[in-house]
Copies of this chain bind each other. A is one copy, B any other.
Amino acid sequence: MPFVNIRITNEGATAEQKQELIQGVTDLLQRVLNKNPATTFVIIDEVETDNWGIGGQNVTTLRQRAAAAKS
């Protein structure tokens, strides 16, 4: 009866992609630990880029810098 929480930035993942994550992680738990899919929960949280930081910097700014570096 595993519980999985996946947190990603809110940058356009489609319902199909999120369904792939749900199916994929449920399969993984069945394959590795023989966990029953019927009682495997997966919750995906999509987080605004202003609200996610890495290296002390929010992702909004990191994305802008990456875009500027490419242009």
Contact = CB atoms under 8 A, between A and B. Distances in A.
Interface of A: 1-9, 13, 15, 17-29, 31-33, 35, 37-47, 50-61
A32 B41 contact: no
A47 to B, nearest CB: 6
Nearest to A12: B33
A40 to B, nearest CB: 7
A56 to B, nearest CB: 4
B41 A52 contact: yes
A38 B56 CA distance: 8
A16 to B, nearest CB: 9
A60 to B, nearest CB: 7
